[in-house]
Amino acid sequence: MIEKVIFLEGIEPVNIYGIKNSRLEILKDHYPKLKIIGRGDELKVKGEEHLINEFEEKLQLLIEYFFKFKKLDDDEFKALIKGEGISMLKRKEEIDDALIYSNSGRPIRARTVNQQKLVDDYNINDLLFAIGPAGSGKTYTAIALAVKAFKNKEVRRIILTRPAVEAGENLGFLPGDLKEKLDPYLRPLYDALMDMIHPRKLADLIEDGIIEIAPLAYMRGRTLDNAFVILDEAQNTTVNQLKMFLTRMGKNAKFIVTGDTTQIDLRPKNKSGLIQALKILKDVKGISAVYFDERDIIRHHLVKYIVDAYKKLDVDNGNGESKENNK
Q: How many CA atoms lie within 13 A of 16 on its CB side?
A: 28
Domain that holds residue 204: 107-326
Q: Is 23 helix (H, G, I), strand (E, B) or coil?
A: helix
Same-domain status, 126 and 84: no
Same-domain status, 86 and 117: no
The pLDDT of residue 323 is 44
How many CB atoms are closer than 10 A to CB 130?
29
Same-domain status, 258 and 314: yes
Same-domain status, 37 and 128: no
β-strand pairing of 227-231 with 254-259: parallel
The pLDDT of residue 97 is 73
- Asked whether residue 102 is assigned to any structural domain, the reply reads no
- Asked whether residue 297 is assigned to any structural domain, the reply reads yes
β-strand pairing of 42-47 with 35-39: antiparallel
CA atoms of 278 and 275, how far apart (whole Å): 5
Same-domain status, 146 and 169: yes
Same-domain status, 128 and 174: yes
The terminus-to-terminus CA distance of the chain in angstroms comes to: 63
Given 49, 69, 96, the domain boundary residue is 96
- Asked whether residue 159 is assigned to any structural domain, the reply reads yes
What is the CATH number for 128? 3.40.50.300
pLDDT along the chain (327 residues), means of 10: 86 88 92 93 92 90 77 82 65 64 84 89 96 90 95 94 61 53 74 90 92 89 95 93 95 96 84 94 94 79 75 68 44
Question: Partners of 6 in the beta sheet?
Answer: 43
The pLDDT of residue 168 is 39
Same-domain status, 121 and 82: no
pTM above 0.85, yes or no: no
What is the CATH number for 38? 3.30.1370.10
Given 38, 65, 96, the domain boundary residue is 96
Same-domain status, 49 and 126: no
- Asked whether residue 82 is assigned to any structural domain, the reply reads yes
CA atoms of 126 and 3, how far apart (whole Å): 38
Q: How many CA atoms lie within 13 A of 287 on its CB side?
A: 12
The total number of structural domains that make up the chain: 2
Same-domain status, 283 and 182: yes
- Kindly report the three-state secondary structure assignment for every residue of 160-206: EEECCCCCCCCHHHCCCCHHHHHHHHHHHHHHHHHHHCCHHHHHHHH
- Asked whether residue 101 is assigned to any structural domain, the reply reads no
Same-domain status, 173 and 237: yes
The pLDDT of residue 84 is 67
CA atoms of 131 and 274, how far apart (whole Å): 9
The pLDDT of residue 296 is 81
Given 96, 120, 143, the domain boundary residue is 96
Same-domain status, 125 and 77: no
CA atoms of 241 and 177, how far apart (whole Å): 24
Closest CA to 22 of 73, 71, 63, 95: 73
